[in-house]
Amino acid sequence: MKQLKPLTITGGRLALADGISHGAVRLIDGRIVGLGEISAQDGDEVLDARGQLIAPGLVDFGVFAVDKPAFHFGGITRAALMPDQSPPLDVPSRVRFVAQSGKPDFWVHPLAGATKGLGGRELAEIGLMRDAGARGVATGRQWIGDSGAMLRLLQYAAMLDLVVVCHAEDAGLAGHAAATAGEMATRLGLPSAPAEAEALAVARDIALAQMAGARVHFRQVTTRGALDLIRQAKAQGCPVTAGVTPAHFMLSDLATMDFRTFARLSPPLRPESDREAVREAISDGTIDVISSGHDPRGPEGKRLPFADAEPGMAGAETLLAMVLTLVRDEVIELPRAFDLVAAAPARLLGVEAGALIEGYEADIALIDPDKPWVIDSRKMEASAGNTPFDGQPTQGRVTRLWKGGVAV
């Protein structure tokens, strides 16, 4: 799919890194060639944005399934896919297949499995998987408990200049917990783990990353203790980044009160004090990325007792709307919102996307940030509608989307 005709989108508000400005964007051969106070040229297709936001297509970092209709609904034009597939992405042939699987209207950037079978012990063929299209390496849903294996992984990834995406939960403490230890878990009688399981995992992996000189990204950091460690590491110049999903800045463990399994997540929802800490970390820059954590689970995985249900949520369609709540609540400004969901994840992947910059890929979303809608799990485009935000009124919708200058 190739852009056949130049396109100029006029009359919009450009979501630039340094602010929002009125102007236009011109797209030729799948690239951005002009921004700002520009006019359409003879032969251009012209579209009037009518005051809507002209923004980069979102880059979703660390999803577990590729549901193109759901991603397109949410304004997502590319995603980093976790290696937890069946079979796992631990050999070059699978990585190569996945890297081609979304084209032409969606780009999938596979994250290579760090260890064979994601077992946490024997390193996989990371170099060959990088050559096959992997844009990073990930430990998967599990923490690598063997510190020697983790150090070797980080050293190898540093030589290959690949970011290592870590699951931040000490498995020895977390076990098969379904909740965070505290008042709510006690009231509900749920198997729980202390919040410190996250901080312990983060502390060890930061120490090993400093030894190896490796870039490390913690896909979800959800507790005050772990966020403080990230903040300290950044202050010391350690190349560490952190992410989170909307559930952990929108919801606390109070959402589990009625045992509704749509709120069964990994890591589990935290107490209100940790939710507030996540919002503070988004505001002060400690958290670099907000991703959807897209992990749809059907009725067979969710219609079970809470502790037995599979963790995960369908998040692609609600990512943008939830992040825009942070703007309305004055936690962040609009340019920062698009850095969190587009520019920063693109930088981690090393792709020229996620920002309105001349020469970058023409992945463009036209957004009405005030458009009201109600999240309805029954009508979602994902393969399953297991969202903890079911029934919630919200604002912000993508009205048009282009991938490489071609309308999706």
Q: What pLDDT is stored for residue 342 in this prediction?
A: 98
In a domain, 3, yes or no: no
Q: For the whole model, what pTM was predicted?
A: 0.96
Query: Could you tell me the two tokens for 90?
Result: 């631990």
66-75, 170-179, 225-234, 288-297, range with the lowest pLDDT: 170-179
Average pLDDT over residues 164-169: 97
Higher-scoring residue by pLDDT: 357, 383: 357
| Mean pLDDT for the stretch of residues 254-278 | 95
56-70 pLDDT per residue, tens: 999 999 999 999 999
Q: How far apart are CA 160 and CA 305, in angstroms?
A: 44
Q: What is the pLDDT of residues 124-135, one digit of tens each?
A: 999 999 999 999
pLDDT band for position 340 (50/70/90)?
Answer: very high
Which structural domain range is residue 235 located in? 58-354+374-392
Would 97 be classed as within a structural domain?
A: yes
164: enclosing H helix or E strand: strand 164-166
Residue 43 domain-assigned? no
Is 237 part of any domain? yes
**CATH number, domain containing residue 190:** 3.20.20.140
What is the rounded CA–CA span in Å between residue 82 and residue 112? 8
Report if residue 252 sits inside a domain.
Answer: yes
Q: What is the mean pLDDT of residues 152-173?
A: 96
Residue 265 has, within 13 A of its CA and on its CB side, a CA count of 29
> Please, are residues 74 and 52 in contact by the beta-carbon 8 Å criterion?
no
Tell me the average pLDDT across 165-174. Answer: 95
Identify the band that residue 293 occupies on the pLDDT scale cut at 50, 70 and 90. very high
Is the confidence at residue 1, as pLDDT, over 90? no
What's the confidence (pLDDT) of residue 96? 98
Per the domain annotation, does 327 fall within a domain? yes
Q: Is residue 191 part of a domain?
A: yes
When pLDDT is averaged across residues 333-357 and rounded to a whole number, the result is 98
Q: What is the pLDDT of residues 228-250, one digit of tens each?
A: 999 999 999 999 999 999 999 99
User: Taking CA 396 as the corner, what is the angle to CA 394 and CA 401, rounded to the nearest 5 degrees?
Assistant: 140
Please name the residue ranges forming H helices in 62-195: 68-73, 92-101, 126-131, 147-160, 171-174, 183-188
For tokens 């995960």, the residue is 312
**pLDDT bracket for residue 76 (50, 70, 90):** very high
**For residue 108, is it within any domain?**
yes
Q: For residue 136, is pLDDT > 80?
A: yes
Domain tally for the chain? 1
Mean pLDDT computed over 353-367: 98
- Express as a percent the part of the chain with pLDDT over 70: 100
Burial classification of residue 381, based on how many CB atoms lie within 10 Å of its CB (0-12 exposed, 13-18 middle, 19 or more buried): middle
